[in-house]
Amino acid sequence: MGKKDLEKQDIGKTILEELTGGEPKEKRQKRGIWKILQIPALAILTGLIIGAVLIMATSFDVYDAFKVSLWKGLGTAFAEVGEAYLALITGSLGNPVEIVQALLYGDALDFRNAINPILESLVQSTPYIFAGLACALGFRAGLFNIGVEGQLFIGAAAATFVGYSLTGLPPYIHMPLAFLAGALGGALWGMVPGLLKATTGGHEVINCIMMNYIAYRFTTFLLTGPMSRPGTGGMPVSPIIEKSAQIPQFFKTPIRFHLGFFIALAFAALVWWVLFKTTLGLNLRTVGTNPRAAKYAGMNIIATTIIGMAASGALAGMAGANEVLAVNRSMAIGLSAGYGFDSIALALLGNSHPVGVIFAALLFGVLKNGATKMMVVSTIPIDIVTILQAVILIFVAAPAIIRSVYRLKQPKVEAAAIMLSGWGGVK
Amino acid sequence: MAPILQLKGITKQFPGVLANDHIDLTLNQGEILALLGENGAGKTTLMNILYGLYQPDEGEILVNGEKITIHSPTDAINAGIGMVHQHFMLIPVFTVTENVMLGSEPVKAGDFLDRPKTAAKIMEISSQYKLEVDPNDYVKDLPVGVQQRVEIIKLLYREANILIFDEPTAVLTPQEADDLFVIMRSLVKQGKSIIFITHKLREVLDVADRIMVIRRGAVVGEADPKQANRNKLAEMMVGREVNLVVEKDIKKPGDVILSIKDLVVTDQFKQVMVDKVSFEVHAGQILGIAGVQGNGQTELVEAITGLRKSVSGEIKFKGQSILNEPPRKITELGSAHVPEDRQADGLVLPFPVAENLVLCTYYKEPFSRGVVLQYEKILENSEKLVQDFDIRTPSSLTTVGSLSGGNQQKVIIARELSRPIELLVASQPTRGLDVGSIEYIHKRIVQKRDEGCAVLLVSPELDEVIELSDRIAVMYRGKIIALLEAEEVAKETLGLLMAGIVPDKIEKPQGQRVVETTF
Amino acid sequence: MAATSTSIQRVRISDISPARKISTGVVEVLVALFIFAVFARTVSAGSITTFVMTPGGITTGQMGNWVIPSQLTLYLLAALSLVIGLFQLIRGFGKITNLMVGLVFLFFIFSFLTWQAADKSLNLAGMLSSAVQLAVPITMGSFSGILCERSGVVNIAIEGMMLMSAMVGALMGSLTHSAWLGLFFGVLSAVLLAALHAVLSIKYKIDQIISGTVINMFSAGMTAFLSQKFLQTRQELNNPAMFTRIEIPGLAEIPLIGPILFNTNFFVYLMFALLIILQVALFSTRWGLRVRSVGEHPKAADTLGINVIRTRYMSVLLGGMVAGMAGAFFTLGSVGRFEEGMTAGKGFIGLAAMIFGNYTPIGALGAGILFGFADSLGSKLSLLGSAIPSTLMSTAPYVITMIVLAGFVGKGHVPAADGVPYTKE
């Protein structure tokens, strides 16, 4: 036990401190913010450097240039990385020159085009917020929900089904209904590993991954069978959902920025409130930190574990529903691009705290949106984002590496971020 | 001839604690040196330094007059130093042979284990020192006393000359302890030298040739067991006069609060651990359950508090059956539980003191309204209990994990005793604590009894049971083999009972009973 | 004194609880009824099921087809299951209860095959042969898990190691035109990932499940990245030399067994070799004793002078090596080219096989073959044109993994220090 999960309590503690208003706040906060941010910030920086090295090392142009001369080689290498990262930045945050030009001379379409990148990043962030919250909630409850991918698929399928099969409903009923169907689908899918863990002790990691494969195949079956769009010749794609089920987008094309982003923020607030302000939250956190003490305190571990996984699955299902209802308007099998792994990474990056998750999700959204652009201009596969995320995650999970690289002081008490139990069977 | 072992000026600093402060120690060939001190005095740290598990900040170690450095247990083993650890360093799923050979295995044909060779050697050692161990048994099947002998064989197999025994009697019955002393005597007779670490005065006086007392990391004096005075030694250990006899009036017990009939409980491997146990606890009465650890006490307590399912029988609390009821329901009926393992069961270490103090009541008014927690009230409650129970913590928001063991236990005691309760189940409430905390907790338990609460006290420390209880039950292999009035039984008889031997007649204590310090 | 020297003999309540006895019996009876009602009744009386007993494309060790009357066979199997179920309900099988459950399960599978193949022919030998092939990555993956977890390090990165090795194996196998060099570099890449896992979980003590997840992520990203960058743009980079089938003279002549086990892929022989080596090394050598001691009680091992950290590093690296061999099987032994995500969860199923096999190599092999059979069942039946859609049939290995995990986890002995980083005080 010992120092386990020291970071987990920090938040509860902070809240308590806020309430009592005891200790001198100013100083503590200033140092506190740098302390909280230094590791993620340096981890991201290091990740980008490693990404740059990877770009250089896998480019034939760079090798060809090195054959000419060392300087030419270095020049080409840096030019490639520069071009790629510039595309990443302008693709995700927008090009200031274009924005100014559009403001001064352009029409409305030019302006929309200019500000689209940053809004598109928010669109990309939205499923990350939901999925990251799913993992964060799981971590708090001591559950490693690596099944977000599957829950997302099922959630999306459920939302799609409600979205196209019901007709004639007013939007204020149909849209929430489809969204809730997505949450319910995800919750049911997430509940299974929770139930198995609570009753048989089967580790949720293996079960979640199995459920991912089953979900993928099951939705393939649905999209090619019962839910297939007529007239597509067996393509795995669903019918388009009713207008009344769509989550509204705020602007005209090409901007896809939609209400779902704010729904995600609202759910982040809700998750925060539940975790840190309610009895259910205390239940979840206690079971997640010390299940034996939870049992001693009379908490229902089985129910809490199932609720935890179901709630986590519901959030993952919302991520899927959001993508279908707000962005794609129908479901295809290529719906998720690895949200499952990404959400684990961003939950850890955000220290399993809803606020941290929002910021990490924004970062991931920016990276993904930018990488899509980068792929167009420089033929660098989008999977570089996954590599970057993995590298960042390593550094966030093992801050000692970052500290030794940047010669930072090791803290007196190392806060081990997250510790889960092995698979010794029933606890 | 130089002494076989000398420590000079050993100093070890841990964050916040000076665990060893310039300790000098001399061990002569063929003697038993007792190292006496209360929990947390720094005895174990010193021995871990000697065994290479810690590195000292200062000081030197001399074996046979030669200065050596010990960086790892391997160095210690090579220098002829061996240690019987307080928590056995045995692998339950391995056989005795495998446990003994591990680390210095005889091999043939490259890397294949030569088990028969080791087994033969074990038989030889076993008969030389009368240890009676079968090399083919699995360690998990052996009783604790025999496991300890396996530990001793491990040292002898490695031809250690200096043997360190770290609190070896903590897990033994008084009779098993006496057996151990016989073995220790025979070891020194055959030329070995022993350092014996303990906090129990009786044992020191029984077996040691020389006594060294340490307190707060420093040597405070030496004594000769033949002339030593019990009270004087206790005072040296603690640094003040100790009064461990709790003031306790004789009280007439009230109504039956807890009644248990023919209770059967199994462990997770379906082995019967509690075997048709029956007893009653009355209001205003402390029933102590004596017995060596692992005789079913843990399972009994877990069954009563709802943490473990019972197979059959009856548990009634205030006349209402609580058999296989969930823990929360039992708690709400007015029972409190001080768990055996406070860190694993009783506390959530990374949570602040305030949250730990409402761990069993957080869902009720005034700590929550509906589903919303009321942190103002939770903090108020915490401030009050920290005051009332003298919990030494920087604030209510400090994590419980950063408090000392004694204060952690006080958090549990405060949480459990501050509720209106009619039954207190206290399992090893003072394990590993310093004398101050022990005195305090004993006082609180007796106070609760005086207020009319029924108390079930479980402790492997016989002295603690004798000291506090009105009635004593002795548990052996899952059965209650005796149920006696505390006043009417001699300590020696209880010791025999704990080993499963029922004497023909129960001997009464003669004169003033000597209650041993239980720290 | 006698009390202290005898070992503790406690009463043990019978292993099979009354509730379990009844529920097992009920399930067995239900299976019997299912075979009767769903399978036997729907087959026409004159149907004949033909089982081909030689895998396709094999000439040595031929065996004649096995032709059986479908309905009669099904009635017989239903009756046998019913008898077992009723006996279980009335008397109970006691210690062999689980064995009987397995037998009924086998009957059920066989009935299912007989029913599906009524009036058709099904290549049973081919199915078994492909089961063995499909078992290779699962079993070797679980060997990798055993090596790591016996030393106390949880390794869920086997999947990632396998994927990386598959990609590198394909790439290097193509570049060097040598299957052996492909295997070598594939294994090397997996060992490097294992080294990362070891450093993160042993040195930096980060949670081993997180460390494993990171490696799986990294591996998924890296293989996809490199595959898109190189393998997909230049086909000659994704066309490795492969290990060919090796016929063992004499043994390959044995009917049924010969073609399946002795006229097969290099990796199948490798799997059996590893089985023997691991089984012996773990339980009969000094090395094995030390590895197991470190996984059970690292502090005890440390006090006896065993270097816990080094032992764990070694085990994890060896585990990486075995995972690398398992991964290379995909590109160099089976498919012949790399595809993104081609390991399809086999590493995780391997972990389930490890748990099911109670952390022993021999048990892992049994479990691996069971999962392999489930897999080949799915693919073979979709070829037969079964009524069940192939997308659903292909979930079988995953569903079975979950069922097995639910039934077996926590039943055997898990290394006591599994997943717990060792801190020297």
CA distance A220 to A336: 13
pLDDT higher for B406 or C276? C276
CA distance A163 to B352: 47
Residue B53: CB atoms within 10 Å: 21
Considering the domain boundaries, does residue C9 fall inside one?
no
Residue C11 has pLDDT above 70, yes or no: no
Same domain, residue pair B131 and B210: yes
Chain B contact for A17, CB < 8 A? yes
Q: Please, which residues 383-402 of chain A have a Cβ atom closer than 8 Å to chain C?
A: 383-387, 389-391, 393-394, 397-398, 400-401
Q: Residue C306: name the closest of C314, B184, B1 by CA.
A: C314
| Closest in A12, A278, A299 to B371, CB measured | A278
Q: At B297, which amino acid appears? A: Q
Residue C300 and residue B89: Cβ atoms within 8 Å? yes
| Closest in C204, C209, C391 to A400, CB measured | C204
Considering the domain boundaries, does residue C234 fall inside one?
yes
Considering the domain boundaries, does residue C380 fall inside one?
yes
Single out the residue in B373, B393, B419 at which a domain terminates: B419
Same domain, residue pair C82 and C146: no
Q: Which residues of B touch A15 (CB under 8 A)?
A: 375
Same domain, residue pair C154 and C113: no
Q: How many domains does chain A have?
A: 1
Q: What is the pLDDT of residue C16?
A: 61
Q: Which of C20, C196, C296, C398 to mutate to test the interface with A (most CBs of A within 10 A)?
A: C398
CA distance B135 to B125: 11
Residue A70: CB atoms within 10 Å: 9
Considering the domain boundaries, does residue A286 fall inside one?
yes
Residue C229 and residue A58: Cβ atoms within 8 Å? yes
pLDDT higher for C295 or B40? C295
Q: How many CA atoms lie within 13 A of A30 on its CB side?
A: 3
Phi-psi category of residue B466: left, alpha or beta, with phi > 0 → left and psi -120 to 50 → alpha: alpha
Cβ-Cβ pairs closer than 8 A, A with B, add up to 101
Same domain, residue pair B193 and B104: yes
Considering the domain boundaries, does residue C286 fall inside one?
yes
Instruction: Split chain B (519 residues) into runs of 10 and give each run's mean pLDDT.
Output: 88 83 92 87 86 89 91 90 90 94 90 94 91 91 88 93 90 82 92 90 87 89 84 81 68 89 87 92 94 88 94 94 94 94 90 93 91 93 93 89 87 93 93 82 91 92 88 92 87 84 70 47
Give the residue on B whose Cα is nearest the Cα of C415: B93
SS3 for B264?
Answer: strand
Residue C2 has pLDDT above 60, yes or no: no
Q: How many CA atoms lie within 13 A of B447 on its CB side?
A: 10
CATH code where residue B465 lies: 3.40.50.300
Q: Which chains touch A (3 or more CB pairs under 8 A)?
A: B, C
Torsion C112-C114-C118-C120 (CA) sign: positive
pLDDT in tens, B409-467: 999 999 999 999 999 999 999 887 877 888 889 999 999 999 999 999 999 888 889 88
Q: How many residues does chain A have?
A: 427
Chain C contact for A57, CB < 8 A? no
**Residue at token pair 């979900």:** A215
Same domain, residue pair C150 and C84: no
| Closest in C10, C305, C413 to B73, CB measured | C305
Torsion C60-C61-C64-C66 (CA) sign: negative
Q: What is the pLDDT of residue C310?
A: 95
Given a contact cutoff of 8 angstroms between Cβ atoms, the answer to whether A4 and A360 are in contact is no
Give the residue on B whose Cα is nearest the Cα of C306: B103
Residue C256, token pair as written in the block: 């049924």
Q: Which residues of A347-371 are buried (b: 16+ CB within 10 A; e: fewer)?
A: bbbbbbbbebbbbbbbbbbbbbbbb
Same domain, residue pair B145 and B289: no
CA distance B88 to A295: 28
Residue A100's contacts (CB-CB under 8 Å, 6 or more residues apart) are none
Same domain, residue pair B186 and B279: no
Considering the domain boundaries, does residue C124 fall inside one?
no
Give the residue on C whose Cα is nearest the Cα of A418: C207
Same domain, residue pair B438 and B511: yes
Chain A contact for C348, CB < 8 A? yes
Q: Which of A195, A386, A396 to mutate to test the interface with C (most CBs of C within 10 A)?
A: A386
Give the residue on C whose Cα is nearest the Cα of B100: C304
Same domain, residue pair C62 and C174: no
Given a contact cutoff of 8 angstroms between Cβ atoms, the answer to whether C137 and C371 are in contact is no
Considering the domain boundaries, does residue C198 fall inside one?
yes
Q: Which residues of C touch B145 (CB under 8 A)?
A: 4-5
Give the domain range for residue B444.
Answer: 243-334+422-519
Q: Which residues of C touch A338 (CB under 8 A)?
A: 220
Given a contact cutoff of 8 angstroms between Cβ atoms, the answer to whether C143 and C273 are in contact is no
Residue C160's contacts (CB-CB under 8 Å, 6 or more residues apart) are C193, C212, C215, C216, C217, C218, C219, C220, C347
Same domain, residue pair C35 and C156: no
Nearest CA distance, A106 vs chain B (angstrom): 53
Considering the domain boundaries, does residue A389 fall inside one?
no
CATH code where residue A265 lies: 1.10.3470
Instruction: Name the pairing type of β-strands B368-369 and B218-223.
Output: unpaired
Same domain, residue pair B60 and B178: yes
Residue A387 and residue C225: Cβ atoms within 8 Å? yes
Q: At C84, which amino acid appears? A: I
Chain A contact for C343, CB < 8 A? no
pLDDT in tens, B153-193: 999 999 999 999 988 887 787 778 888 999 999 999 999 99
Given a contact cutoff of 8 angstroms between Cβ atoms, the answer to whether A327 and A163 are in contact is no
Q: Which chains touch B (3 or more CB pairs under 8 A)?
A: A, C
Q: What is the pLDDT of residue C425?
A: 59
Give me the percent of chain C exceeding a pLDDT of 90.
45
CA distance A380 to A398: 28
Single out the residue in B238, B260, B292 at which a domain terminates: B238
Chain B contact for A280, CB < 8 A? yes
Cβ-Cβ pairs closer than 8 A, B with C, add up to 115
pLDDT in tens, C330-385: 999 989 999 998 998 899 889 888 988 889 999 999 989 988 988 888 777 766 66
Q: Which of B268, B349, B408, B427 to mutate to test the interface with A (most CBs of A within 10 A)?
A: B349
Same domain, residue pair C213 and C326: yes
Q: Which residues of B touch A22 (CB under 8 A)?
A: 395, 397
Give the domain range for residue C229.
Answer: 133-408
pLDDT in tens, C84-116: 999 988 888 877 777 888 888 889 888 988 888
Nearest CA distance, C218 vs chain A (angstrom): 5
φ, ψ of residue A365 in degrees (nearest 5): -60, -45
3-state SS record for B388-432: HCCCCCCCCCCEHHHCCHHHHHHHHHHHHHCCCCCEEEEECCCCC
Phi-psi category of residue B16: left, alpha or beta, with phi > 0 → left and psi -120 to 50 → alpha: left
Residue C420, token pair as written in the block: 């717990």
Q: What is the mean pLDDT of residues C273-288?
A: 95
| Closest in A207, A389, A426 to C217, CB measured | A389
Phi-psi category of residue A2: left, alpha or beta, with phi > 0 → left and psi -120 to 50 → alpha: left
Q: Which chains touch C (3 or more CB pairs under 8 A)?
A: A, B
Chain A contact for B363, CB < 8 A? yes
Total-model pTM = 0.85
Residue A15, token pair as written in the block: 């809240």
Give the residue on C whose Cα is nearest the Cα of A5: C207
Residue A148's contacts (CB-CB under 8 Å, 6 or more residues apart) are A131, A134, A135, A312, A316, A319, A339, A340, A343, A344
Residue C204 and residue A205: Cβ atoms within 8 Å? no
Same domain, residue pair C25 and C142: no
Q: How many domains does chain B have?
A: 3
Same domain, residue pair C208 and C112: no
| Closest in B326, B345, B362 to A279, CB measured | B362
Q: What is the largest CA-CA distance in chain A?
A: 73
| Strand partners for A324 | none
Cβ-Cβ pairs closer than 8 A, A with C, add up to 161
Give the residue on A whose Cα is nearest the Cα of B337: A296
Considering the domain boundaries, does residue C330 fall inside one?
yes
pLDDT in tens, C193-215: 999 999 999 998 888 888 998 99
Chain B contact for A25, CB < 8 A? no
Residue C51's contacts (CB-CB under 8 Å, 6 or more residues apart) are C65, C66, C67, C68, C113, C117, C121, C122, C123, C124
Considering the domain boundaries, does residue C4 fall inside one?
no
Nearest CA distance, A42 vs chain C (angstrom): 18
Give the residue on A whose Cα is nearest the Cα of C390: A221
DSSP A101-119: HHHHT--HHHHHHHHHHHH
pLDDT higher for C63 or C360? C360
Q: Which residues of B344-372 are buried (b: 16+ CB within 10 A; e: fewer)?
A: ebbbbbbbbbbbbbbbbbbbeeebbeeee
pLDDT tens by residue, chain A, 427 residues: 333 343 444 444 544 444 443 344 444 455 567 777 788 888 889 999 999 999 888 888 888 888 888 888 889 889 988 988 898 888 888 888 888 888 888 788 888 888 889 999 999 999 999 999 999 999 999 898 989 999 999 999 999 999 999 988 999 999 999 999 999 999 999 999 999 988 887 888 889 988 998 999 899 999 988 888 888 877 888 999 999 999 999 888 788 999 999 999 999 999 999 999 999 999 999 999 898 999 999 999 999 999 999 999 999 999 999 999 999 999 988 776 678 878 888 898 888 899 999 999 999 999 889 988 888 888 888 888 889 889 988 888 888 888 888 887 766 444 444 444 444 333 3
Give the residue on A whose Cα is nearest the Cα of B353: A13
Residue C65 has pLDDT above 90, yes or no: no
Q: How far is CA A229 from CA A161, A165, A169, A381, B153, in A?
A: 11, 12, 21, 30, 76
Single out the residue in C119, C149, C175 at which a domain terminates: C119
**Residue at token pair 């239980």:** B518
Q: How many domains does chain C have?
A: 2
CA distance B8 to B24: 5
Same domain, residue pair C194 and C333: yes
Same domain, residue pair C190 and C75: no
Nearest CA distance, C265 vs chain B (angstrom): 31
| Closest in B329, B345, B371 to A293, CB measured | B345
Q: Please, which residues 220-279 of chain C have a Cβ atom closer than 8 Å to chain B?
A: none
Residue B327 and residue A297: Cβ atoms within 8 Å? yes
Same domain, residue pair B45 and B81: yes
Mean residue pLDDT across chain C: 87
Q: What is the pLDDT of residue B511?
A: 52
Residue C52 has pLDDT above 70, yes or no: yes
Single out the residue in B394, B419, B444 at which a domain terminates: B419
Give the residue on B whose Cα is nearest the Cα of A2: B401
CA distance B166 to B199: 10
Given a contact cutoff of 8 angstroms between Cβ atoms, the answer to whether C216 and C159 are in contact is yes
Residue B145 and residue C286: Cβ atoms within 8 Å? no
CATH code where residue C296 lies: 1.10.3470
Same domain, residue pair C159 and C254: yes
Same domain, residue pair C145 and C215: yes
Residue C216 has pLDDT above 90, yes or no: yes
Given a contact cutoff of 8 angstroms between Cβ atoms, the answer to whether C93 and C100 are in contact is yes
Residue C409 and residue A423: Cβ atoms within 8 Å? yes
Nearest CA distance, B308 vs chain A (angstrom): 10
Q: Which of A206, A396, A426 to mutate to test the interface with C (most CBs of C within 10 A)?
A: A206
SS3 for B122?
Answer: helix
CA distance A125 to A257: 11
Nearest CA distance, C97 vs chain A (angstrom): 20
